[in-house]
C-alpha cells in the first residue's frame, strides 16, 4: 500500500509540473489557434532569470517578480516582432516561427546565462511530508496548488470578463471579432503576454524540483504539449487533468512495469485517447458551419 | 608590355605562394582539432578548446617543439558526428595537418577514426567510450578514463566494504547507457551481483518511483547511479527523501562542485570515483600528480576565470603526450610520432599516469581514479583507495 502511495505521489509531483507547463499553451491557442513551441523557453526564462538575479544579490521574491516581468515582455516581443508581421500566414507557418523563436531564445540564454544546471530554494523549507509510509515534497504541493489557482483564474477570466470574451471571439472568427469592435491584435498581444507570464511562474515554481538550465525548455514543452493535447488543447482544466494523468501513468508504469518503458506507455495511452477522442478529454468539438 | 606586366605579376604571386608553402613546412607543425565548442556537448568542447589554445601559445612562447612553432587549427562540430567527419577530411586534405588532438564526443571520434587511419595521421581522442581503443586502431589513442574503469573502481570499493549485492539506476542518455552496459559486463568478474537495474530519462524530474522499487528489492546493499547532468542530483535528493539507508555511489560523470551544489545536503555521504584534477588541493604532497594538477588548475583559472574541469584536462594530456612524442621523435614525421606516442611511459598528466603499449592506447589503470566521499559539502579522499 505504501508502495502504491509513493508511486501516486511521484506521479503527482511529475504531473503537476506537466500541468503547469501545459497551462501556458492554452491561452495563446485560444486566441490565435497557434501552438506556441517557444512555451518551454518561457518556462526556462522564468527559472533562469530568477536564478541569475538572486545570484546577483537580488532578494528572491523581487527576483521572481522581475523574471515574470522580463519573460512577459519577451512573450510580447515574440508576438509583435515575429508572429504579428506574418499574420497572413497559415497556422502551420506561424507554428514554425514559434519553433524558430524557441531555438533563438535557447541560443541567447546559452550566451546570456551559462551552460550549467541551477536550482532554486523551495518555497517552504523543511523535509518531505510523510503520509502512510510514503513521502512527498512540500514544493510538489505548491506546484499543484498553483496549477489549480491558475485554472480558476483563467476560467474566471475567460468566462466572466469582457476581455476574456474578446479572446474567445478573436479565436472563433477574427474578422467578425474585428467587425464588432474587438482590437484583435491587442487581444493576441495580450494572450502571448499572459502565456509567457504563466510560463515564467511555472519555471520559478518547478525549478526547486526539476533544476533548470538553458535547454530545459525543450523536453518540458514536449511533455506539456502532450498533456495539453490529451486534456484537449485550449481547455485549462484539460491541461491540468492531462498533465496529472501523464505523470501518474509514467510513475505507475515505472513502478509496476519497467522504468525503461514508462515514456512509451504514456505515449501509447495518449495515442489511444486521441484516436478515440480527437478533441482530447475536455476539448470542444469544433463545428464548422458552411 | 601589358602581357609582360601580367606575367611578372603572376610569377611574383606564384613565387610568394611557393615560398610561403616552403616556409610553412619547415617552420610550423600543424595540429588539427575538431571539438564540440558549441551545442549540447559544449561543456566538453569549450574547456578543451581553451586549454589547447592556452598551451599551444605557451609552448610557442617557449620556442616551440624541436625549434618549430605549433599551429593549432580548431573546427567546431557542435557535437554532430557528420560535420566532424567533414572537418576531419578538410584537416587532412586542405590544412595538411601533422597530428590530431580532439574529438570531444564518442560519436564524433568514431566518425573521424577512418579518416585519420586512412591518411596515417596520429589521432589522440578526448572522448570517453572504450570502443575508441578496443579493438586497438594503429593510429588512434585517447586520454580520458573509460566508464569501465569507473565501474571497476566502484565495485572494488564495494568489495572492500563487503557489499556485493547492488542496484543500478541509470540515465538513458549516452553516458548512463554506456556505463550501465560496462557495469553489467564487469560485475561478474568483480564478484558483484546486480539485483535490479532501473532507468530514468534525461529530463525526468522525479525518480522516487524507481527508487521505491529498488528500496523494496530484498538484499540490495548499495545503489550505483551511472548518469550525467541534473539526473544524479535529483536521484540523490529523492534517495534522501525516501530515507534509503544503504550507501549511494555516483559516477565520475558528476565530479564537479556543481553536483554538490545541486544535490545540497542530500549529497552528504555519497561516494564517487574522480580524477585527481578535481581534488588538486586535497592530494597528499607526495602524490606524483600533485604538481601537474595544481599547476594546470591554477593556469586555467587564471587565463579563463572559470573553474577547472576534467575535460580541459583531457585536452592538456592529449597535447602534452603528442608534444612529448614529437620531442622524442625529434621530428613531426607522422609514423615516427605515432610510434613514440605508443611508447609513452610514465607520463604524469591530469588524468593519471600514462603507460601506453601496442595493446593499450589509453595507458591508465585504476589508480587514475580516487574514491571520494562528500562530507560537509566538500570532497574528502576515502583512505586506502
B229 part of contact set with chain A, CB < 8 Å: yes
Minimum CA–CA partner of B239 in chain A: A135
Looking at the DSSP bridge assignments, the partners of residue B273 are: B371
Confidence band, pLDDT 50/70/90 cuts, at residue A234: confident
Beta carbons of B241 and A135 less than 8 Å apart = yes
Count of domains for chain A: 1
Q: Look at residue B23 in the predicted model and tell me its pLDDT.
A: 45
Residue in B175, B231, B225 with CA at minimum distance from that of residue B198: B225
> For chain A, what is the mean pLDDT?
89
Q: What is the mean pLDDT of chain B?
A: 88
A208 within a domain of the structure (yes/no): yes
Cα separation, B98 vs B87, in Å, equals 15
Is residue B384 predicted with pLDDT exceeding 80? no
How close is the nearest chain B Cα to the Cα of A166, in Å?
37
The residue in chain A having the minimum alpha-carbon distance to the alpha carbon of residue B43 is: A115
Q: Check if A137 contacts B (Cβ < 8 Å).
A: yes
Domain assignment of residue A196, given as a range: 2-117+133-276
> Which three-class secondary structure string do you get for A195-220?
HHHHHHHHHHHHHHHHCECCCCHHHH
pTM of the predicted model as reported, rounded to 2 decimal places: 0.82
Beta carbons of B210 and A117 less than 8 Å apart: no
Beta strand A129-131 with A134-136 is antiparallel
Query: How is chain B split into domains, by residue range?
Result: 26-141+292-364, 147-281+369-381
Q: Does residue A203 sit at the B interface (CB-CB below 8 Å)?
A: no
Which residue from B339, B338, B365 is spatially nearest to B351, judged by alpha carbons?
B365
Minimal C-alpha gap between B260 and chain A (Å): 11
- The helix (H) or strand (E) run that includes residue B262 is helix B257-263
Predicted confidence at residue A289, as pLDDT, reads 53
Residue A216: inside a domain, yes or no?
A: yes
Predicted confidence (pLDDT) per residue in B9-43, tens digit: 555 555 555 444 444 445 789 999 999 988 777 88
In chain A, the percentage of residues whose pLDDT exceeds 90 is 44
In a domain, A283, yes or no: no
Q: Average pLDDT, stretch B203-224?
A: 91
pLDDT tens sequence across B321-333: 999 999 999 999 9
Asked, for residue A173, whether it belongs to a domain, the answer is yes
Whether A286 is in a domain gets the answer no
Query: Is there a domain that residue A109 lies in?
Result: yes
Give a yes or no: residue A284 inside a domain. Answer: no
A143-156 pLDDT tens trace: 999 999 998 998 89
Q: What angle do CA B329, B59, B321 make, to 5 degrees?
A: 45
Q: Do you know the residue count of chain A?
A: 290
C-alpha cell at B8: 611578372
R_g (Cα) of chain A, nearest Å:
19
CB–CB of B203 and A9 under 8 A?
Answer: no
Identical fold for domains B26-141+292-364 and B147-281+369-381, yes or no, is yes
pLDDT digits (tens, 9 = 90+) for B75-130: 999 888 999 999 999 999 999 999 999 999 888 999 999 999 999 999 999 988 88
Domain assignment present for residue A248? The answer is yes
Is the pLDDT at A25 greater than 70, yes or no? Answer: yes
B141: closest CA among B347, B329, B307, B356? B356
Q: What's the longest Cα–Cα distance across chain B?
A: 97
pLDDT digits (tens, 9 = 90+) for B268-304: 999 999 888 888 888 888 888 999 999 999 999 999 8
Query: Per residue in B353-378, pLDDT tens?
Result: 999 999 999 999 888 899 999 999 88
Q: What is the nearest CA distance from A57 to chain B, expressed in angstroms?
A: 17
CB within 8 Å: B40 and A260: no
List pLDDT tens digits, range B234-270: 999 999 999 899 999 999 888 888 889 889 889 999 9
Q: Is the pLDDT of residue A72 over 60?
A: yes
Q: What is the DSSP string of B135-160?
A: S--TTEEE-SPPHHHHHHHHHHHHHH
**CA dist B274 → A200, A277, B110, B129, B297 (Å):** 37, 52, 25, 16, 15
Instruction: Give the CATH number of domain B147-281+369-381.
Output: 3.40.50.2300
Pick the CATH number of B26-141+292-364 from 3.20.20.190, 3.40.50.2300, 1.20.1250.20, 1.10.10.60: 3.40.50.2300
Amino acid at each position: 500500500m505504501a508502495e502504491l502511495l509513493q508511486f501516486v505521489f511521484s506521479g503527482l509531483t511529475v504531473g503537476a509540473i506537466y500541468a503547469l507547463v501545459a497551462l501556458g499553451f492554452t491561452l495563446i491557442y485560444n486566441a490565435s489557434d497557434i501552438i506556441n513551441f517557444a512555451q518551454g523557453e518561457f518556462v526556462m526564462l522564468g527559472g533562469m532569470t530568477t536564478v541569475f538575479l538572486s545570484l546577483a544579490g537580488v532578494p528572491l521574491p523581487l527576483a521572481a517578480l522581475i523574471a515574470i516581468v522580463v519573460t512577459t515582455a519577451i512573450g510580447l516581443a515574440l508576438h509583435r516582432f515575429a508572429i504579428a508581421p506574418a499574420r497572413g500566414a497559415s497556422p502551420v507557418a506561424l507554428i514554425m516561427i514559434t519553433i524558430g523563436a524557441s531555438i533563438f531564445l535557447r541560443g541567447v540564454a546559452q550566451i546570456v546565462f551559462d551552460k550549467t544546471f541551477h536550482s532554486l530554494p523551495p518555497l517552504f523549507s523543511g523535509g518531505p511530508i510523510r503520509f502512510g509510509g510514503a513521502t512527498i515534497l512540500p514544493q510538489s504541493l505548491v506546484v499543484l496548488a498553483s496549477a489549480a489557482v491558475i485554472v480558476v483564474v483563467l476560467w474566471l477570466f475567460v468566462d466572466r470578463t469582457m476581455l476574456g470574451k474578446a479572446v474567445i471571439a478573436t479565436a472563433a472568427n477574427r474578422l467578425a471579432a474585428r467587425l464588432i469592435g474587438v482590437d484583435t491584435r491587442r487581444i493576441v498581444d495580450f494572450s502571448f503576454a499572459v502565456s509567457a507570464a504563466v510560463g515564467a511562474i511555472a519555471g520559478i515554481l518547478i525549478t526547486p524540483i526539476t533544476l533548470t538550465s538553458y535547454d530545459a525548455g525543450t523536453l518540458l514543452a514536449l511533455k506539456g504539449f502532450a498533456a495539453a493535447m490529451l486534456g484537449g488543447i485550449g481547455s485549462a482544466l484539460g491541461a491540468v487533468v492531462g498533465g496529472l494523468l501523464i505523470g501518474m501513468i509514467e510513475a505507475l508504469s515505472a513502478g509496476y512495469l519497467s522504468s525503461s518503458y514508462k515514456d512509451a506507455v504514456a505515449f501509447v495511452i495518449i495515442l489511444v485517447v486521441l484516436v478515440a477522442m480527437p478533441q482530447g478529454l475536455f476539448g470542444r468539438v469544433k463545428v464548422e458551419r458552411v | 608590355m601589358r602581357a609582360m606586366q601580367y606575367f611578372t605579376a603572376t610569377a611574383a604571386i606564384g613565387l610568394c605562394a611557393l615560398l610561403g608553402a616552403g616556409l610553412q613546412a619547415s617552420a610550423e607543425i600543424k595540429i588539427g582539432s575538431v571539438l564540440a565548442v558549441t551545442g549540447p556537448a559544449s561543456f566538453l568542447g569549450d574547456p578543451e578548446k581553451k586549454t589547447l589554445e592556452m598551451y599551444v601559445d605557451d609552448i610557442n612562447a617557449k620556442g616551440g617543439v624541436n625549434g618549430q612553432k605549433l599551429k593549432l587549427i580548431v573546427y567546431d562540430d557542435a557535437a554532430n558526428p557528420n560535420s566532424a567527419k567533414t572537418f576531419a577530411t578538410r584537416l587532412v586534405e586542405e590544412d595538411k595537418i601533422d597530428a590530431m588532438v580532439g574529438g570531444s564526443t564518442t560519436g564524433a571520434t568514431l566518425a573521424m577514426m577512418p579518416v585519420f587511419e586512412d591518411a596515417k595521421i596520429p589521432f589522440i581522442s578526448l572522448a570517453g567510450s572504450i570502443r575508441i581503443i578496443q579493438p586497438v586502431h594503429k593510429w588512434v589513442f585517447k586520454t580520458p578514463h573509460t566508464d569501465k574503469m569507473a565501474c571497476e573502481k566502484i565495485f572494488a570499493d564495494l568489495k572492500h566494504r563487503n557489499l556485493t549485492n547492488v542496484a543500478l539506476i541509470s540515465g538513458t542518455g549516452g553516458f548512463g547507457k554506456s556505463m550501465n552496459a560496462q557495469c553489467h559486463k564487469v560485475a561478474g568478474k568483480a564478484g558483484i551481483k546486480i539485483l535490479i537495474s532501473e532507468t530514468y530519462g534525461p529530463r525526468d524530474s522525479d525518480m522516487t518511483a524507481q527508487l521505491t522499487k529498488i528500496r523494496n528489492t530484498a538484499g540490495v546493499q548499495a545503489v550505483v547511479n551511472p548518469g550525467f547532468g541534473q539526473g544524479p542530483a535529483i536521484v540523490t535528493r529523492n534517495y534522501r527523501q525516501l530515507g534509503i539507508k544503504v550507501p549511494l555511489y555516483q559516477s565520475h560523470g558528476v565530479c564537479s562542485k556543481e553536483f554538490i551544489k545541486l544535490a545540497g545536503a542530500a549529497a552528504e555521504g555519497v561516494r564517487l570515483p574522480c580524477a585527481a584534477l578535481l581534488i588538486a588541493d586535497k592530494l597528499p604532497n607526495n602524490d606524483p600528480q600533485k604538481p601537474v594538477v595544481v599547476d594546470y588548475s591554477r593556469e586555467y583559472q587564471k587565463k579563463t576565470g572559470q573553474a577547472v574541469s576534467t575535460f580541459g584536462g583531457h585536452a592538456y594530456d592529449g597535447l602534452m603526450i603528442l608534444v612529448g612524442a614529437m620531442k622524442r621523435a625529434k621530428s613531426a614525421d607522422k609514423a615516427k610520432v605515432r610510434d613514440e606516442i605508443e611508447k609513452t611511459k610514465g607520463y604524469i598528466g591530469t588524468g593519471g599516469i600514462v603507460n601506453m603499449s601496442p595493446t593499450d592506447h589509453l595507458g591508465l589503470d585504476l589508480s587514475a581514479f580516487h574514491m571520494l566521499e562528500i562530507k560537509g559539502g566538500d570532497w574528502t579522499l576515502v583512505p586506502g583507495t
